[in-house]
A and B are shown apart, each in its own frame.
Chain A
Amino acid sequence: MNPPLSPLSVPDDVTPDRSPDRDDEDLLREYRASRDEPAFRALVQRHFPAVWSTARRLVNGDAALAEDVSQEVFTHLATHAQSLPPRVVLGGWLHRHTCFTAAKAVRAASRRRSREQLAAAMNHSQQQPDPPPWPDIAPHLDAALNALPAADRDAVILRFFENRGFSAIARTLNTSEDAVRMRTSRALEKLRRLLGKHSSALTAAALAALLRENSIAASALAASTAPAGAAARIATTALARAASLPAAGTGAAAEFAALTAALRGARPALIGGTALLLAVTAVWKWNAALNSATGASSAALAVSASPAAVPPKTLTSREVDVTVHFILVPEAAALAIMNQRWNADGDTDLLAKLLREAGPAGGGAGSGGVRVAQVLTGTWKSETTATLRQARDVPALPKYGRKKPPVPRKGETAFMPVGSTAMVEVMLSDDGQWCDLNLKTSHHFAEPVPHFWPDDPGGSREPGPSTVETTEFRESSASAQLLLPLGGSTLVQCSQLPALSDAEAGRPALRLFTFVTAQPVSPS
């Protein structure tokens, strides 16, 4: 039986570090610059109570599981510190990441339970006597916090979870004290409305009191039920794991970002996105390595990556950048790729590898013959549909008159596009972590082949004195609905390209890989 949800408590050895001379930003900067271990330990010491308490709320009071979640969150922080935005509000970042890591842990656990056990648990919970207000809202608190805009959420966390003064919050958020007061007040009201579904008598003042009383800053140092020394142990483990994992933002990820930037051309708005791409790639690599290191089985996961596998992104608006890559790969290499992949952890690594093979300009600089046929990138607002098209129309099927010599009838020629098209419908999850894509892509190859009729049996494609001409095209298209974690990529389709009769005799066969990537729009 798990302990009651209230009062929440944390170990007494983890008094939050509140040294006024070094704030989160300073400590993070020191750790980033020199992997400074004391700085990281100070960060863990400072934020562990909040992380652990949040995790414990979300895992139904299971202290051991809360510690595991905390471990994973801080390991992620240790490894991923390089790619955090420069002025990140660490408390908010940690809170969101804790939520998703805990959600992942809960899902994994819940899938092991049978339906009957779940039903029994539900019945049991319904038979409980009326609980006090805090247990009513505690299970919903973190979800409600996640539903707040990022700035509001940061304000609430700094004020009530870290128990900071308005002036300190103003310095952290780089704004005025009055603005912080206003923002905190409004955020509290929004939070009350969200939580009001579960406690009708809840007022903003009552909520503020409850938060002060029960959140980590207020109750932090009451009786401890967590294992002693948890923060120190977690910091040590996180640092050890970080040392054994590749540093973020280097190697393939950097190349990927550079290549993507080059492929996108000189679009200024997208340059900022490359930094995010870099970070995302690094995270995916990190995540894969972590799974390997910990021996974690992904069998219990339902999707390519759980929300926890993706770093929380601060969406400035409900907009995403969607990129569609059309990449041509020689048959032998493509077959090897397809035989080796079982798509267990998404396709970001595969995309990065192919882009690396294609060379900086995407034109096949590598010896493997991989080349980028087309890249389409655009920005979508959630719940909108738009089409990207980079193609030219070529006359393909004329209608001829019956008189000789035959002349095409005016206005009756069918045209075919040569180039690429992507019609995308985007729907962002309300928590901003997932992107639901309804995708239709097509790539018409810019290699139209003329045919002359009557066709010369010898195979010549030369026009004769009395011939009519048509044009042959090759197209690869796909339509699919899929769900991507923001920052993730997936292979939409892979197809062998049909050869064009005689024109391509002797050329190596090719396959077309189509990838789609969804990125949050850069704050810049």
Chain B
Amino acid sequence: MKFPVITTAPALLLLFLPAFSSAQVIPHAHLRYLSIGKTGAATALAAAASSKDPGGHALFARLMTEVAEGKATLLADQEIIVRSGQRSKVAAVRHFPVPVDFTGPGTAGVILPTDFTTEGCGQTLEAELTISGALIPGVDRQLQDINLAPERKELLSLYPWPVPGLRGTGESGGGLPRLPLIAVQKTATQPLSWTGNTVLLSISPSPTTGLTDGEPMFCYQFIRSGLNGETPAPPDARRTGTEPGERRIHAVTLRLPRQEAAAVMLQTDGDDAALYARLSGMVTAGTATLSGHSAVVCRDGQRSKVESLVNFPVLDWSPQHPNFSYETRNIGEALEVETGGMTAHTTRTEDGRTQVIPVFENHNGVQSTWNIALERQSGLEMVPWHPAASKPDEAGALPEYLEQNLSAEFRIPPSGILCAGTISSSPATQSSEPDAASEGTTDITFVTQTPPPGTAEEGARPQVHLQAFMLSLPAADGVPLAAALKAASGAPLPAERWVQRLLRGEFPCAAQASTVVFPGRRSKMLGVRKVRLQETRPLTLPVTANRPSPVTTQSVSWEQNDCGVILTVEHGGAAADPVTDITWEWDTAPVLAPDEMDSPDAGLEARRYRQKIELRDLKLPRAQPVIADVRASNAREGAPEHGRWHALVLLAR
């Protein structure tokens, strides 16, 4: 066989230089990561529902101008060279010593660290790059597939954690170990880009937002990529959108007073875009607040995550275990998204092996479902506890904080805006929500997609937005309602009349939750306060050599309890009227009166009210509220819900 005549110069060089030659030059790119902080809700709300600037180009230009004018803060700016097919990493950090082992208080009352590790506080960027030879139509530049993991750690302060045996409880700090509070912001995603393009990677609340008063700050993370040898695409040739199969998912959480939120959610007609516009207007007017906003770019078949957390070293201690250590609590917000609906089929290859091929229901993004996990922790406060009033020297403090989780799978409507869940807050133990005992708040979470899905799925909305409202009724209403429900053999009763009475303010909505559930899937909305409660159990000490007979005593421990609302919904199928399994759990947190702060807490447990309602194979009509359960509160005297009756209203849209 005659050797083919190869006529290109690179091919010639390849013939003679098989190991490495100029012909095998692999392109590389400079990737520049920027994080810009901007205070205020207006920019964040606009970015979440922007169909005019899906790529974030205009937002980047505006924020950079504001950085120059001092109206925004450049939090991170880092660049690294990355070769196609390789991984690069750059870090600029301060190695801060963190104590991990301590001496005991001793007689001098001074605790000293004896061993340390280091925490790298600063900016790190890890990137992997694949450059495709294909030119992107419209910009005539090479496609860059970027796998990114930027991380920013900031040392916020050194906090004097209260230690048993020492007075101070975090105020003076004299003689106490001061441990670092470290804020962490991370993004892990895989955007597509080209030279001259800027991609809005993610948005996250500043980690300090929940720790300080005033308007929240949101951080906008961008990536700019320049392929060596390519000049940027001219401005008029740039595409303003994202690449095919690449979308940005936002989770926007708005906070309203609970009664107002209940009224809004009961009256909405299912137009989530209109609802978002209305609530955004309330934020602008100051009658609602933007309590969270996370967003991240995600592509078909991939998973992306953005998180903004503060690592709190929290004392792990109990009166019966005088040795102490610290464990970390994450306070902040994290959003993880991936395209759902992935199926797989197997095929047999020529050599007889079985190959699994993943298939996405929605390759072009139109029919895609999204799996979303939104985790939020906020309102951390150190609550002083007096575990033994007879030993005031052992005063300590334990942390409490709110946790909200939404995990669901759903499709986003053509408008690009979906109301994905609501959750009412559990009352605070002490001071973070002064009005919590009387009313409390509700967080409403919207999930938006930029750019929005196409119109191909117009009208296709198989999922159900299931809302649950717990009405707190006086006995005069609760007793006959329970009887009526019993007479109906447990079949749901129409609830229109009760909803109207709620809207007129005749009785309050004690708790509220909702989530979106896709046919055949399960969704969960959780909103609880992590409360440390003292648990006392009888303890019998067995006979030993030094103990001739058994001794009965008490075991005292401090356990973390989830006090709040947990709503779990499972969709039974794709029928017009959804058949669902619903589990509603409600656990009221014991609320301390100010004058109770210095007293022992033995009665706290007695003031809890716990409720769990399980409904199976419940067929719910759409857009018609029904009463599914009525029961008397078992709260003890002195508890907020003592003597009330509770009616669970469900509304499926």
- Known A493-B79, A493-B80; contact A139-B27, beta-carbon cutoff 8 A: no
CA distance A480 to B22 in the complex (A): 19
List B257-272 residues whose CB lies under 8 Å from chain A: none
The verdict on A480 contacting B10 (CB below 8 Å), with A344-B229, A468-B113 known, is no
- For residue B95, CB closer than 8 A to chain A, the reply is yes
Chain A contact residues: over half helix, strand or loop, or mixed?
mixed
Within 8 Å by CB of A457, from B80, B83, B106, B173, lies: B173
Inter-chain contact A125/B76, CB cutoff 8 Å: no
A338 within 8 A of B: yes
B16 lies within 8 A of A477 (CB): no
- What is the bound-complex CA distance between A146 and B12, given in angstroms? 11
Neighbouring A residues of B103 by C-beta, 8 Å: 402, 404, 406
Are the CB atoms of A307 and B5 closer together than 8 Å?
no
B597 at the interface (CB under 8 A from A): no
The chain B residue sitting closest to A440, CB to CB, is B89
> Which residue on chain A has the smallest CB distance to residue B117?
A397
Closest to A401 in B: B114
- Contact flag A468-B8 (CB < 8 Å), given A344-B226, A451-B97: no
Least CB distance from B593 to A in Å reads 32
Q: Does B555 lie at the interface of the complex (its beta carbon under 8 Å from any beta carbon of A)?
A: no
Task: Tell me which of A130-138, A210-218, A272-280, A371-379 binds B.
Answer: A130-138
Q: Is B241 an interface residue (CB 8 A)?
A: no
Judge whether B95 and A125 touch: CB under 8 Å.
no
What is the chain B residue whose CB lies nearest that of A60? B7
B115 touches A498 (CB 8 A): no
In Å, the complex CA distance between A471 and B82 comes to 33
- 1/0 per residue, CB under 8 A from A, across B68-108: the answer is 00000010111111110010111111111101000100101
Most buried by B among A126, A298, A496: A496
Is the pair A490, B81 in contact by a Cβ cutoff of 8 Å?
yes
A434 and B22 contact, CB distance less than 8 A? yes
- Within B6-20, which residues are at the interface with A (CB < 8 Å)? 6-10, 12-13, 15-17, 19-20
Chain B minimum-CB-distance residue to A112: B135
B226 surroundings in chain A (CB, below 8 A): 341-344
Q: Which of these binds chain B: A42-50, A100-108, A149-157?
A: A100-108
Q: Which of B151-198 contact A (CB under 8 A)?
A: 155, 158, 160, 172-178, 195-196
Count of CB-CB pairs between chains A and B under 8 Å: 279
B80: chain A residues at CB < 8 Å are: 478, 480, 492-493
A299 with B158, Cβ < 8 A, contacts A434-B22, A478-B80 known: no
Check B89 against A431 for contact (C-beta < 8 Å): no
A304 an interface residue at 8 Å Cβ cutoff?
Answer: yes
Do A493 and B95 touch (CB < 8 A)? no
Closest B residue to A449 by beta carbon equals B94
Q: Chain B residues near A197 (CB, 8 Å)?
A: 3, 15
| Cβ 8 A contact of A303, one of B4, B13, B120, B229 | B229
- Interface centre among B24, B158, B172, by most chain A C-beta atoms within 10 angstroms, is B158
- Of A106, A125, A511, which one neighbours B5 at CB under 8 angstroms? A125
Q: Answer whether residue A93 sits at the interface, using C-beta atoms and an 8 A cutoff.
A: no
CB contact list, A393-410 vs B, under 8 A: 396-397, 399-402, 404, 406
Cβ A454 vs Cβ B111 within 8 A: yes
How distant is A56 from chain B, measured CB to nearest CB, in Å?
12
Q: Which residues of B contact A107 (CB under 8 A)?
A: 8-10
How many angstroms from the CA of A404 to the CA of B114 in the assembled complex? 11
Interface contact A136-B114, CB-CB below 8 Å? no
Q: Is B643 an interface residue (CB 8 A)?
A: no
* B94 surroundings in chain A (CB, below 8 A): 472-475, 498-500
Given known A-B contacts A344-B231, A454-B176, A103 and B195 have beta carbons under 8 A apart: no
Please determine whether A128 and B5 come into contact, CB atoms closer than 8 angstroms. yes
Which residue of chain B has the shortest Cβ distance to A480 in the bound complex?
A: B88
Decide yes or no: A143 and B83 within 8 Å by CB, A431-B21, A478-B89, A496-B76 being known contacts.
no
Choice from A298, A307, A397, A475 contacting B116 with Cβ under 8 Å:
A397
A244: CB under 8 A from chain B?
no
Contact A302 B116 (CB under 8 A): no
Interface assignment of B140: CB less than 8 Å from any CB of chain A = yes
B173 cross-chain contacts in A, Cβ below 8 A = 454, 457
Residues A126 and B90 in contact, CB atoms below 8 Å apart: no
Which of B2, B25, B27, B140 has its CB near the most chain A CB atoms (within 10 A)? B25
B108:A466 contact, CB within 8 angstroms: yes
Q: A434 vs B383: C-alpha distance in the bound complex, in angstroms?
A: 64
Instruction: State A335–B64 Cα separation when bound (angstroms).
Output: 11
Instruction: Indicate if the CB atoms of A140 and B114 lie closer than 8 Å.
Output: no
Question: In the complex, how many residues of chain A place their beta carbon closer than 8 angstroms to a beta carbon of chain B?
Answer: 102
Cβ-defined contact, A140 with B110, below 8 A? no
Q: Compute how far the CA of A127 lies from the CA of B118 in the bound complex, rounded to whole angstroms.
A: 68
Closest chain A residue, CB of each to CB of B160: A457
B32 interface hit (Cβ, 8 Å): yes
Cβ–Cβ < 8 Å partners of B27 in chain A:
302-303
Indicate if B121 sits at the interface (CB-CB under 8 A).
yes
Q: Are B96 and A472 interface neighbours, CB within 8 A?
A: yes
Residue pair B16, A147 in contact (C-beta under 8 Å): yes
Is B122 in contact with chain A by the CB < 8 A criterion?
yes
Contact status A480-B81, CB under 8 Å = yes
Q: Determine if A472 and B97 form an interchain contact, defined as CB atoms under 8 angstroms apart.
A: yes
Give Cα distance in the complex from A378 to B196, angstroms. 35
CB-CB under 8 A for A301 and B4, given A143-B15, A474-B95: no
A194 in the interface, Cβ–Cβ < 8 Å? yes
Instruction: Report whether A303 and B28 are in contact in the complex, using a CB–CB cutoff of 8 Å.
Output: yes
Residues of A within 8 A of B172 (CB): 457
Given the complex, which residues of B lie within 8 Å of A307, measured CB to CB?
22, 25
Partner of B79, one of A110, A338, A396: A338
Check B30–A454 contact: CB distance below 8 A. Answer: no
Residues of chain A within 8 A of B316, CB atoms compared: none
A14 to B94, alpha carbons, bound, how many Å? 67
Contacts of A494 in B (CB 8 A): 32, 77-79
Give Cα distance in the complex from A427 to B345, angstroms: 44
Bound CA–CA A60/B11 (angstroms): 12
- The answer to whether B79 and A468 touch across the interface, beta carbons within 8 angstroms, is no
Given contacts A480-B88, A492-B80, is CB(A299)–CB(B231) below 8 Å?
yes
Task: Tell me, yes or no, whether B522 is within 8 Å of chain A by CB.
Answer: no
A475 x B25 contact (CB < 8 A)? no
B141 at the A interface (CB under 8 A) = yes
Q: Which residues of A contact B (CB under 8 A)?
A: 58-60, 99-100, 102-103, 106-107, 110-111, 121-122, 125-126, 128, 130-131, 135-136, 139-140, 142-144, 146-147, 194, 197-198, 297-299, 301-307, 335, 338-339, 341-346, 396-397, 399-402, 404, 406, 416, 427-431, 433-434, 436, 451, 453-455, 457, 466-468, 470-483, 490-501, 511-512
User: Can you list 11 residue pairs at the A/B interface with Cβ under 8 Å?
Assistant: A106-B9, A111-B133, A302-B25, A305-B229, A402-B103, A453-B112, A468-B114, A475-B92, A481-B86, A491-B81, A494-B77
- Nearest 5 pairs between A and B by C-beta? A495-B92, A304-B228, A301-B229, A470-B97, A480-B88
Excluding A143-B13, A304-B228, A427-B20, 13 further A-B contacts by CB distance (< 8 Å) are A58-B12, A303-B26, A342-B226, A400-B113, A401-B114, A430-B17, A454-B175, A480-B82, A480-B83, A481-B86, A483-B28, A495-B123, A500-B94
